[in-house]
Amino acid sequence: MRLDAKMMTLGLVGLTVVVVVGFVLVVLLISWFSNPPFGLGNAPPQPVAFPHTVHAGPVEEGNMGIQCEFCHRNVTKGEAATVPSVEQCLFCHGTVEGQTSAARTEISKFRPVAGADGITPPVMPINWERVHRMPDHVRFVHEAHIRFFTDPSPELMRTGINGEGINGPLSVQETCSICHGDVADMEVVKPKQGQSLKMGTCLDCHRENNVATDCTICHK
Amino acid sequence: MKLSRRNFLAWAGLSAVGAVACEGFGIRHGEFDLQSPASLPEDLVRGKDNWYATLCRTCPSCEGIVVRVMEGRAKKVQGNPSYPTNMGTHSARCEAGLQALYHPDRVSGPMRRSSYRGSGQFEPIDWATGLNEFRAGLQGRSENILVVTEPLRGHLGMVVQKFAGAMGGRHLAFEPMDTVTLRMALKNVFGQDTLPDFDIGNANFLLSFGSDLLSTWVAPNRWNMAYGEFRQGEGRDKRGSFFHVDSRFSMTAANADQWVPVSPGREGYLALSLAYVILSEGLQAPGVDVGRLTGGQGAASLEAFRPDEIAGLIGLPDHLNGHTPVEVIEDLARRFAAAENRPSLAIGGGSAGAHSNGLFNLEAIYALNYLVGSVGVTGGIRFNPESPLPDVPASSGGGSLADWATVASQLRNGQTRMLLLHNADPVHGLPGAMDFHDAMDQDDLFIVSFSPFLDDSSVMADLILPDRIYLEDWGSDLPEPGPGFQTIGIQQPVVNPLSDLDPRSFGDVLLTIASEMGRGDALPWDRFEDLLRDSSRQLFEMNRGSIQAATANEFWNRMLAQGGWWDESATGPGSVAPPDGLLRDIVAKSSQPRFPGLGTSGNVFHLAPFSHHTLMEGQTAHLPWLQATPDPVTTVTWETWVEMSDYDGARLGVREGDIVQVNSAVRGSIEAPVFLTPANPPGIIAMPFGQGREFGSDTATGRPDNVSPNLMSIVEPSQVDDTGALAWASTTVTVAPTGRSVRISKFEGAYRAIEIGTTPAEQIIHTIVPEKG
Amino acid sequence: MVTNRTPHKWGMVIDLDRCTGCQACVVSCQSENNVPINTKDLFQQRRAYEWIRIERYWEGEFPDVKARFIPILCQHCENAPCEPVCPVFATYHNDEGLNVQIYNRCIGTRYCANNCPYQVRFFNYWEPQWPERLRNQLNPDVTVRSRGIMERCSFCVQRIRRAELTVERQERATLDYETMKKRNFLPACVQACPTNALNFGDQKDPTGPVYEYFKDLNEHEEEERKTRGYRLLEEMATKPNVIYLKKVDQFPVSNGGGHG
């Protein structure tokens, strides 16, 4: 009887401890997860279902085979790769209707069509969901990485992000896929599966390639 | 397993709780959006910055700037390296233009008064309604309108003048510490209509009287640039030597080799005394026509200004650096005139010109330049040419106090029935005794404000049609003082207004209204930009200057890229002959300064007001960066303060932060905290203008009256003889402690910073020859 | 190419004889580096953020009185007292002479600020606030420091990195002083300074404006120096990468100023 009471008290204390610890843990986790450096998970639903397969997939398979830098125009020029303006989508989709009804539905989401009154509504911007995100304190210059991997000099020894050896200069597309995976093969764009994109990964790659690892190269 | 920071992350990643937490508490909505804009202009590369050349309009000196623009947002202002008057540098004020652009308190669109006048209550209207009301107002009141703006040069100045002319009204520019006396003195001494260029950078000796040239006087950024060269410029064989005569210890005095404290308003006497020593000792430069200058009498004409006669009057301290007043005057005259110190330059302004005898003071000071042969030479006073474009004014003076008194009476008696305001705040910036607020509070008066911010004057408006900020608008400027050759700066919009704002360009509105009312003969342009393009074509056809182009279009584009057009060969008059008997006439004008309130009992002080280092007279008081910039001498921020000497502080028993009442016998009183300095002359208190708005942005208004009063409210509205300008330095006050005190908002630490120890922070050597590296 | 680069060695030379205390550098720095707006409360709490500040020193009393101005910023010491005390290595010295603060590593112990003899480190006691619209002005190249983080002058490292990237890597040109000046790559304070009192450059570049001064100070003892150069608190042996040039005073305060 006495023992039971003791056990009861112990149990209650234990339960309280568990609850408190659990609560602290939840709070800690929330603070981890609400911090931007953490990755965003897989393939968020996009406002327009844009198939990279059709646009960037190989021509031999009946796709368009458009180069990455054709749409992501700044990727070979500066820091941000940038998403294209809707105006640029309409270069083609002003006339290209889409071959399936699903495609036509998606295209009509951003292509303005003249109404009954004959007036064409203005083009509206598209708000995409982000798939990759750099934390605010990190500077990642796409251009510098593409320049390094596409450098034509054959004697330059290069290593990929997971330590794999790379022979000779790469194309822009191949360079992109080192970190982003084969986006041309993705119906819905998502991070490269199983690929770590943490600071350690950046550092390892910089070391392998004999590139400066000073903090201020990336941190701002 | 060791729990490191990284694998803790991994653990957390696995945790289902984590997923729930992430879902439940989430990340701020919109943070992970990535927008495909509808369209991209040709010149905008996403993810890259652009630098556009334009002009800064934050202060009247108007510097050429380049603005860093990224994704349609202005990020940084930097001096334009090719612009002749600032060569890549800029002042603290330029930078803060960005805060005007993105200021939370900008007037977002047209508004109509919805309650009694001055209530500060407005209702938003659309532009069509606003313009209709403006037009209706103009139609009924045509002959009786007055356009009040900030001092305007360049094309906007022309448009405003022509608009006022076409409507049968007139234009008057408002500057609180007006340059009327300075301009008249320069006109009388050198016969020039525009301000000349003071070539400090090439001078060897600089003597300035009353002008706070390194802080706020006329074009401080120019003078700072020149000052750097003057001290340690490359290729100089000698470090320039700088004496500053002033009745208060300003930032300029702090930078002088020797500060010469004088009694307020006696600068002209000192200048003539220097002239006496120079002439009687024959120190004048070779070739100076002494007979012409003195009307044939030589040094005898200045007999009354012998150093020993007037040393007492000037109020020099008994011992200045171990010298008696007479020695100080003689020494200064000999240094100023010494052959090895030429070219030497004398300039004056500020408080020297703001007494009843201000015109005499300034004329006497500037006349010194003739004696040392510094007129029209490198290192001396260089004159500026006329505007290269007819009609486009190169000079921008404001109205004098006498003009404003007339305006006030015309408003009161109904002669002026319509008032247009643009970036001018006479209610805040005119002496309180004039009660301009009351003058504007007339039932029949129709007031339209174009200012992008509310202030004490625009809050009185019936209609507010907000202008764009200069970074969103077209414009031009002819810098004054110019660099000595013809220069036109061009201001282009570097960003568009944010989507929640609906301002409209003041110039465009005037052009539209003039043509709609059928009065557009003198203003035949649809938009302000067209006018600029027209002028650009004229300049192109002149085929000279800094831009060589094949077509007018190419010329225009290169002008925008470069930030303006200038022609270094189109200089002003090389030299001017002094008016006959100049010194004789100045002597005849000599008079003691009058201090209307003087003689009352109590602790009487001379009030030495000054333009605030960054807020000037309050034009920029709504910009947080400028409020937060420490005053260079006291390091006080966000407040009005009373600068008082340690001696007077001990006498009155006040310490730093104690609030004192400053009474101007007839003009009311204000309260402000005391800041004691070891440098302020006893018997004088110095106070800055700029604070104390009653309406408008929180940044300009949101502090109690006893720490941020408007100094202008107690300034004596007396005038400078012969010019009618405000004699703002002629106020006398009594100071009484209130017994209350505050913690003063200053940057300096709790203890006064005095050099101590064996290795002071600021090390000094005593040589005037710059050594070579 | 970032590989095989020869690191620069950045340094600043401040000519006190040119400085007028005009505060252009102060505001320019705040605008470039997203420094929080200094409210009145911050000044009253003595917590104002000024990565570069103008200090004013008095000497003497009326009428023989002088006020002297001296700009103070992080001295980027070679032997920085702030570095060894950081428990998480958030501050360290890199091979270019920069003292670097890595914000996301900082845990806010404030040891570094206590150990800094120059008082140039600023702690974010609260989350910095900007009115919503003013956030449009924030520089995307610089992180906004959140609460609990130490911040200080970085020699505008974001501009240096941009200069290296565009001039050295992309254009394959030499990064000399003229290029930096013309294309706004110098630190914001240097770029703004109207009197040219602030100079910045590579200590190893003989054509640059700072070379001769660093050479002189590195090679000569205090008494044998040919220039006006000195370092702040030199006896502490912190070896700053900022050099001051002595103020020239034609008329020393004759009565000695009355302070010992």
Q: Are B302 and B583 in contact (CB under 8 A)?
A: yes
pLDDT per residue as tens digits for the range C126-184: 999 899 899 999 998 899 998 999 999 999 999 999 998 888 888 888 888 988 988 88
Q: What is the pLDDT of residue B21?
A: 41
Q: Answer whether residue B651 shows pLDDT above 80.
A: yes
How far is the C-alpha of C177 from the C-alpha of C175, rounded, in Å?
7
Query: Parallel, antiparallel, or unpaired for β C91-93 and C99-101?
Result: antiparallel
Residue C255 has pLDDT above 60, yes or no: no
Higher pLDDT, C12 or A6: C12
Pairwise CA distance, residues C91 & C9, whole Å:
18
Averaged pLDDT for residues B275-288? 91
Task: Using CB atoms, pick whichever of B613, B681, B755 lies closest to residue C62.
Answer: B681
pLDDT in tens, B712-765: 999 989 999 999 999 999 999 999 999 999 999 999 877 777 765 555 666 776
Q: Mean pLDDT for chain B?
A: 88
Check residue B772 and give its pLDDT: 41
Average pLDDT of the residues in B176-195: 90
Out of C48, C227, C254, name the one closest to residue B771 (CB).
C227
Q: Is C16 on the interface with B (CB under 8 A)?
A: yes
Whether the pLDDT of residue B22 is over 50: the answer is no
Q: How far apart are the first and last CA of chain B?
A: 62
How many Cβ pairs closer than 8 A exist between chain A and C?
55
SS3 call for B565: strand
Answer whether A74 touches B (CB < 8 Å). yes
Cβ contact B754–C46 (<8 Å): no
- How does residue B681 score in pLDDT terms, banded at 50, 70 and 90? very high
Which range, of A153-157, B380-384, B484-488, C164-168, averages the lowest pLDDT? A153-157
Taking 80 as the threshold, does the pLDDT of residue A34 lie above it?
A: no
Pick the residue with more confidence: B544 or C252? B544
Give pLDDT tens digits for B577-630: 888 889 999 999 899 999 887 666 678 899 999 999 999 999 999 999 999 999
CA distance B8 to B55: 54
Give the pair of three-digit tokens for residue B208.
């300035």
Which H or E element spans position A48? Answer: none
CA pair distance C83, C150, nearest whole angstrom: 13
Confidence of residue A62 (pLDDT cuts 50, 70, 90): confident
Write the single-letter amino acid at B177: M
**What is the pLDDT, as a whole number, of residue B601?**
67
Tally Cβ neighbours within 10 Å of residue C66. 27
- C63 preceded by a cis bond (ω within 30 of 0): yes
- pLDDT at residue A101 above 60? yes
Q: Report whether B184 contacts B358 (CB < 8 A).
A: no
Q: Are B268 and B364 in contact (CB under 8 A)?
A: yes
Mean per-residue pLDDT, B413-420: 91
pLDDT 10s digits, B201-258: 999 999 999 999 999 999 999 999 999 999 988 888 888 999 999 999 999 999 999 9
CA dist., res. B710 & res. B727, Å (int): 17
Measuring CA to CA, how many Å separate B647 from each of B261, B457, B682, B734, C108? 16, 40, 7, 16, 44
| A141 in contact with chain C, both atoms CB, cutoff 8 A | yes
pLDDT in tens, B106-159: 999 999 999 999 898 999 999 999 999 999 998 888 778 999 999 999 999 999
Best of A77, A139, A159, A211 to substitute, by most chain C Cβ atoms within 10 angstroms, is: A139
Taking Cα atoms as reference points, which of B195, B198, B168 lies closest to residue B182? Answer: B195
- The number of C-alpha atoms within 13 Å of B12 and in the hemisphere containing its C-beta is 23
Q: Give the length of chain B.
A: 773
- Residue of chain B nearest C198, judged by CA positions: B228
Q: ipTM score here?
A: 0.92
Pairing state of beta strands B241-246 and B258-261?
parallel
Q: What is the mean pLDDT of residues A117-140?
A: 83
Distances in Å between the Cα of B510 and the Cα atoms of B134, B156, B171, B522, B530 are 10, 10, 13, 12, 14
A38 contact residues in B (CB cutoff 8 A): 9
Contacts of A127 (CB under 8 A, 6+ apart): A47, B33, B34, B35, B36
CA distances from B32 to A46, A139, B282, B460 (A): 12, 17, 80, 45
Task: Write down the pLDDT at residue B13.
Answer: 45
Looking at residue A77, its pLDDT comes to: 85
Band of the pLDDT at B24, cuts 50, 70, 90?
very low
Contact, B63 vs B93, CB < 8 A? Answer: no
Structure token pair of residue A56: 């960037």
The pLDDT score that the predictor gives to residue C258 is: 35
pLDDT at B759: 55
Identify the residue among C14, C19, C35, C65 best suited for mutation to test binding to B, counting B beta carbons within 10 A and taking the highest: C65
Using a CB-CB cut-off of 8 Å, the residues of chain C touching A139 are 141, 158, 161
Has residue B704 got a pLDDT over 90? no
pLDDT over threshold 70, residue B183: yes
pTM: 0.89
- In order of B208, B297, B311, B326, the CA distances from B284 in angstroms are 19, 15, 22, 20
- The three-state (H, E, C) secondary structure of B486-531, written as one string: EEEEEECCCCCCCCCCCCCCHHHHHHHHHHHCCCHHHCCCCCHHHH
Subunits with 3+ Cβ pairs within 8 Å of B are A, C
Convert the pLDDT of each residue in B656-669 to its tens digit: 999 999 988 777 89
Pinpoint the alpha helices (H) of B590-645: 624-627
Tell me what pLDDT residue B600 has.
60
In percent, the amount of chain B with pLDDT more than 70 equals 92
Q: Is the peptide bond before B124 cis (omega within 30 degrees of 0)?
A: no
Instruction: Give burial (CB, 10 Å; 0-12/13-18/19+) of B226.
Output: buried
Q: Give the Cα separation of C193 and C209 in Å (integer).
A: 15
The contacts of residue A143 (CB under 8 Å, 6+ apart) are: A74, A75, A76, A77, A78, A79, C165, C170
| Res B360: pLDDT | 94
Chain A environment of C170 (Cβ under 8 Å)? 143, 147
Chain A: residue whose CA lies nearest to B12? A29
Candidates A198, A199, A216, A219, partner chain C, best to mutate (most C CBs within 10 A) = A216
Contacts of B400 (CB under 8 A, 6+ apart): B178, B180, B719, B723, B724, B725, B726
Within 8 A of B320 by CB-CB distance, chain C residues are 63-64
Assess A2–C contact: CB distance below 8 Å, yes or no: no
CB pairs B-C closer than 8 Å: 281
Question: pLDDT, tens digit, for every residue of B48-105?
Answer: 788 999 999 988 888 999 999 988 889 999 999 999 998 889 999 999 999 999 999 9
Q: Identify residue C230 by its one-letter amino acid code.
A: Y
Tokens of B125: 């209207």
List all residues of chain B from 618 to 647 with a beta carbon under 8 Å from chain C. Answer: 624-626, 628-630, 632-633, 635, 637-639, 645-647
C contacts of B677 (beta carbons < 8 Å): 58
Tokens 């254009």 belong to C171
What does the alpha-carbon distance between residue A153 and residue A156 come to, in Å, rounded to a whole number?
6
From the list B731, B633, B748, B586, the residue with the least C-alpha distance to B259 is B633
> Please, are residues B278 and B333 in contact by the beta-carbon 8 Å criterion?
yes
pLDDT of residue B48: 79
Strands B658-664 and B732-741: antiparallel
Task: Say what the pLDDT of residue A87 is.
Answer: 86
Question: Which of A68-77, A137-146, B20-29, C16-25 has the least mean pLDDT?
Answer: B20-29
Per-residue pLDDT reduced to its tens digit, B462-521: 999 999 999 999 999 999 888 989 999 999 999 999 989 999 999 999 999 999 888 888
- Supply the pLDDT for residue B576: 87
The model's pLDDT over A85-98, given as tens digits with 9 standing for 90+, comes to 888 888 888 888 88
Contact A26 B9 (CB under 8 A): no
Of chain B, the percentage scoring pLDDT greater than 90 comes to 63
The C-side interface with A (CB below 8 A) comprises: 1-5, 92, 94-96, 98, 100, 102-104, 141-144, 154, 157-158, 161, 165, 169-170
The Cα–Cα gap between A215 and A38 comes to 19
Q: Can you tell me which residue has the tokens 């003249």?
A: A114
